[in-house]
Structures are given as structure tokens and as C-alpha cells.
Chain A
Amino acid sequence: MGDSYTASGSVTIAADTAPGAYHVLVQTDAGSTLTESDETNNVVGAPTSLNVGGPDLTIQGSVQLNDGGGNYRSSFQIFTPFSFVGSGSTLDVSYQVLNAGLGVASQPWSNQVWLSRDNHPRQRRHPHRHLRADLQSARQHEHGRPPRRARDSGQHSGRATTA
């Protein structure tokens, strides 16, 4: 009676866990293997909560700017080797993707490259033309690699053809 032991181990927070505040709960005899005199005290929580952060994909070096269309983000890490391209010709686009969040961005996901007349994508009054679905699908932090909490980034490039 009164014997105790300390257990510890590493657990992986599932990559699709919604970000937010969580409580860590320990459930002893989780399989109800033992016949206990009190079965109501098997679940005990930590006194403080734990914040789980999700991934936050963006482009490296982006800053928030403002124009007549409102706020937008801009980064010098999106670039093309040319400042002029003809319609129907091929355009090489390079950009640096950054996971600015705490969580692992788990593949697959898709990146898209658009060509817009302004700085604001996906606004109905100023529709933009989708040039090409990005070819890159990757997991920013693969399982088995030491996870980095933030600021993981990768260089992506692709070739798009203008309409």
C-alpha cells in the first residue's frame, strides 16, 4: 500500500492536432486490467494547461504592407530571373517557404503560383488567373527527424507558362 513509481516517456503530439490550450491527462490502468478498490481516481490531469501550436506556412522574409486594396504581404524571396516575359512563354519562379509555426506541417499540401494585376489574390472583383499548381508537395518536418519548432524553410522553384 502506498507504493509508487515515476514514469516518463516521450509522446508525439499528432500533427493534425488543432492548435490551442490542452490539458495533459494520465490514465492509470487504462485497460481496466486490475480490479481496484476505487476506479474513479485513475484519470488525473496536470495542474497547468499546455498550448499546442500548429504549423504556419508562409514565405520567408514576408512583410505586411498596405495599398488601396488593403493589407497584403510581400517578400523578396519570391522572384523570377526576368522582369519581362511574353504571353505564352515560360516563366521560372523561385520562392522560399517558411513554417513559422510551432507545429509540423505534414505533407501533402500544395502551393500555387498566381499572376495578379495587384497585390491581392482571390478577390472576386479582381480575379486573378491561376497559372499553375505548384509541383512541390513536401513535409516540412518528417517524422524521424528531430523536429524543429519553428522557422523551418525550404527553397521551391517551378516553371509556369503565362496564358
Chain B
Amino acid sequence: MIVKVDSGSHLVEQPSADAGSDGRANNTVAATTNFDVNAPDLTLPNRALLNDSGGNYQASFQIFTPFNFVGAGTPIDVNYQVQNAGSGVASQPWSNQVWISRDNHLDGGDILLDTFTQTSNMLASSTLSILRPGLVIPINTPPGTYRLIVKLDSGNQVVEQPSVDGGSDGNTNNTVVSTVTFDVGAPDLTVPNRALLNDSGGNYQASFQIFTPVNFVGAGTPIDVNYQVQNNGSGVASQPWSNQVWISRDNHLDAGDILLDTFTQTSNMVGLASVGIIRAGLLIPADTAPGTYHLIVKLDSGNQVVEQPSVDGGSDGNTNNTVVSTVTFDVGAPDLTVPNRALLNDSGGNYQASFQITTSPPNVVGAGQLLDVTYRVQNAGLGVASQPWSNQVWISRDNHLDSGEHPAQHVHPDLQHGRLGEPRHHPAPDS
């Protein structure tokens, strides 16, 4: 310490008794003993210097969250202690950050959860507890085990003394990792109440939570499909993603199956929740072959959601995204015929006849002459008869259209082409 008297040179001093003619030569005098001025040193208490393949790191159990498991997209509370290990006051403001990391080192790929600004000074050799509630693990955080890392004075706003842990840099002990870990869970989209079954095609998932209210539907007509979507993971499933509805002749989504619908989910879905989806008016294509079909739902068909390993096993979170309905429904085809027909029999076997076929003239016509033929066509099936198709008018020496002893003679392909049975566009029935 140094004292300088009459530092403003207001006095006219006599020649100094100590030296020479300048009376101010002895105005400045230093103390005979030294003293140290110490700065703050921010860190976390109860830390230990550890080492792994990534190098040295500081770890402390004074950083923790009450949760062992948290879903991506959901919040956690983080507690940590701040210690001013120096002898100086840490002067506000400064900022502390909370990160999550897959290892013990703050580096690329780590995820920042929080930046908190300290707005009060912190005395030397004091400790402060900080609770940061509701820090959200970002949606789509890859599932796995994470550590909390606290970085004190992240903006290097506090001038710190050389760290008490050694070295000349007072910031070396500002970044400390938690000694305990916690797990982040991703979403896991599936259909609830499913069972893992097996047939000749291999394993498949089946659930009664996929169904249509009808047991029988005609090709070319619409059906409503209901299914439940379950997020079986703890993470939030982030929109958008797409779900598809297929129909299949078996329990497996493969070639030849028919896509009925692609629905885009436009809202997030929290973990461990279910939602019901109704897709109305899904059209069974008119050329669908008649028979028994299964509904198959493929969730997240575009693989837009990062899913955790499936609860049904395996490392692939998508293994339970495709689920088949446990009940089937039948698709009916069209059935074109002439109405009011009767099944008759002659020596040539059975044949069908109907008064809905008339000619003009009705009884006699000359070879080479025009004959007007009127007939009625009925779609007696459930399915839509989708144009184009052809009808033909023949004359035959018997009641049978064949090429045998009395071959029928093809006269004229019918001019009628149309779509018969279409609910909205069918020709108006005539009387």
C-alpha cells in the first residue's frame, strides 16, 4: 500500500528534511508490509476431477434432476449448487447454463436447456442453491442416457482468480458435469391392444382397434375406417407425420395390397397417450378383386418421427408401426346380368331367359335386315361396374351361346358403355 500526501500540491513545502530542495520528494510513502487482493472463483461444490477417454472433467453430485427418465418434449426440474470458492465477491450479473450431454464433456451435439442470469452479488466462500424448474427436453431429442452439465459464468462476465483447483485460468472449474445420469425417452407410435401373432408369412402385429363398421362392401364404394393411435413412448411425437390405411388379402403389408388413405397428423402427441382417428369415405377401388380383406394401418409411414426402440422389442422403433386388424371384411364385385331372368333347361343344359330382351320386329326378320334390340342391364352385385365394358347381342339357333352344333352368330357389339352402380353418377334408372 502507498500513501501520497498533498496529492494535489496545494501546499508550498520547504525543502525536504529527507532529501534535496524539493519539499514534495517525501510526500509518497509505501507501507512496509504487503497484502493480497483476491477475486471470486465460481464453481460447484463437492466436485471431483475425473478422467475418461475424452480427457479431464469436473463432476459433482450437486447437479441433479429428480427424474430418472423423461420423455423428449417434456420438462424436467434441475437443481445445482453454485459456490464462490474465491475470496472476492462475484459481482452480478453473470449467466449460468444447463446442458444435457451424452458424455461427460461439453462439446458439439450437446443440447442447451437453460441460460439463467444471476442478478445478485455472491460473497466470497459462499454457496447458493439454484432450482431451474420446467426445462423442456427438446422434441426429437434422440433417446438415450444423458448427463446434466452446468456451465457457470458462461459469458465470462466475472473476473475470477486463478482456480482453486490449480492453473492460472479461473474458469477451469466453471463447467461441471453431474455424477448421475437420466434417460431421455422418444415417442413410440403404435396401435394399442395389439398382439404379436404369426402365420406362414411370418410375424405380424394385430389389434381389434382397427375396424370398419361394415362387414361387406362393394368395390367402388366407400367405407369408414376407425383406428387408435397410441404413443407408447415417453417422448412427445412431433407433428407432422403420416398414417396410411391399406387393405390386404393377408396379415402382411406387401405387394398387391391397396392403399386407401394417407392422413397427415398436424398436432403433437404426448407420450403414453392414445387418440382415436376416424377416416370417413375411404373408397375401395372399383377394380378391387372380390374376397376377404384385412385393414392394415401403417403409422408414421414416412418415418418422420424419431422413435425409441419399440416396447415390443428390437432396436427399431418402427417395428410396431404397422398393425393389421383382427377382423376382416368382404369386398363384393359387380355382377352384370339382365334382370327378371329365369333359369330354364333344355337338352343343351341350363340357360337364362328374360322378358327384358325384346326385338322389333318381334318375331320375324329377314337376313340382311336391321333388327332393333332393347334389353335391360342390371348390376346385381355390390361392387361398382366401372366403365368401359362391352355388351354383345347374338342370335343363336338354340338357347346357348356356344360354338357347338348350333353356333351362335355374333351380330353387333352393344354401343353401351357406362359405369353402373356408382353411387353418385349412375345412369338414372328407367322404368
Binding site for B on A (CB under 8 A): 1-31, 33-38, 41-48, 50-55, 101-104, 106, 141, 143, 147, 149-150
- Distance in angstroms between the alpha carbons of A109 and B112 in the assembled complex: 103
B10 at the interface (CB under 8 A from A): no
Contact A26 B369 (CB under 8 A): no
Contact A24 B393 (CB under 8 A): yes
Partner of B335 from A26, A36, A44, A50 at Cβ < 8 Å: A36
Name the interface residues of B349-398: CB closer than 8 Å to any CB of A: 351-359, 362-383, 385-386, 388-398
28 pairs across A/B with beta carbons < 8 Å? A1-B382, A3-B378, A3-B421, A5-B427, A5-B429, A12-B411, A13-B367, A14-B367, A14-B368, A15-B367, A23-B396, A26-B391, A28-B338, A28-B377, A29-B336, A29-B389, A30-B390, A30-B413, A38-B337, A38-B381, A42-B337, A45-B354, A46-B359, A52-B365, A52-B367, A53-B365, A102-B369, A141-B368
B373 surroundings in chain A (CB, below 8 A): 8-11, 24, 26
With A38-B335, A101-B366, A147-B366 in contact, do A13 and B375 touch (Cβ < 8 Å)? Answer: no
Contact A7 B376 (CB under 8 A): yes
Q: Smallest CB-CB separation from A104: which chain B residue?
A: B368
Interface residues contributed by chain B, number (CB under 8 Å): 74
B418 at the interface (CB under 8 A from A): yes
B367 surroundings in chain A (CB, below 8 A): 13-19, 52-55, 102-104
Distance to closest chain A CB from B287 (angstroms):
7
Q: Smallest CB-CB separation from A9: which chain B residue?
A: B415
Contact B416 A5 (CB under 8 A): yes
Contact A45 B374 (CB under 8 A): no
Partner of B388 from A3, A20, A33, A41 at Cβ < 8 Å: A33
Given contacts A35-B287, A43-B352, 18 further A-B contacts (CB under 8 A): A2-B379, A5-B418, A5-B420, A8-B372, A13-B371, A23-B395, A23-B399, A25-B408, A26-B377, A31-B389, A36-B334, A41-B352, A48-B363, A52-B367, A53-B367, A55-B367, A104-B366, A104-B368
Which of A3, A19, A22, A103 has its CB near the most chain B CB atoms (within 10 A)? Answer: A3
Q: Smallest CB-CB separation from A49: which chain B residue?
A: B363
With A10-B370, A10-B371, A104-B366 in contact, do A35 and B333 touch (Cβ < 8 Å)? Answer: yes
B398 surroundings in chain A (CB, below 8 A): 23
- Distance in angstroms between the alpha carbons of A141 and B356 in the assembled complex: 31
Contact B399 A14 (CB under 8 A): no
Which of A9, A15, A55, A143 has its CB near the most chain B CB atoms (within 10 A)? Answer: A9
- Distance in angstroms between the alpha carbons of A42 and B333 in the assembled complex: 14
Q: Smallest CB-CB separation from B336: which chain A residue?
A: A28
- Distance in angstroms between the alpha carbons of A86 and B6 in the assembled complex: 181
Partner of A33 from B290, B375, B390 at Cβ < 8 Å: B390
Q: Smallest CB-CB separation from A5: which chain B residue?
A: B427
Partner of A47 from B355, B382, B396, B418 at Cβ < 8 Å: B355
Which of B375, B395, B409, B411 has its CB near the most chain A CB atoms (within 10 A)? Answer: B395
B40 at the interface (CB under 8 A from A): no
- Distance in angstroms between the alpha carbons of A41 and B379 in the assembled complex: 11
Contact A26 B338 (CB under 8 A): yes
With A4-B377, A45-B353 in contact, do A35 and B290 touch (Cβ < 8 Å)? Answer: yes
Q: Smallest CB-CB separation from B413: which chain A residue?
A: A30
With A4-B339, A28-B377 in contact, do A13 and B334 touch (Cβ < 8 Å)? Answer: no
Distance to closest chain A CB from B375 (angstroms):
5
Contact A11 B411 (CB under 8 A): yes
Q: Smallest CB-CB separation from A1: which chain B residue?
A: B382
Partner of A25 from B218, B333, B394 at Cβ < 8 Å: B394
Distance to closest chain B CB from A74 (angstroms):
27
Contact B375 A26 (CB under 8 A): yes
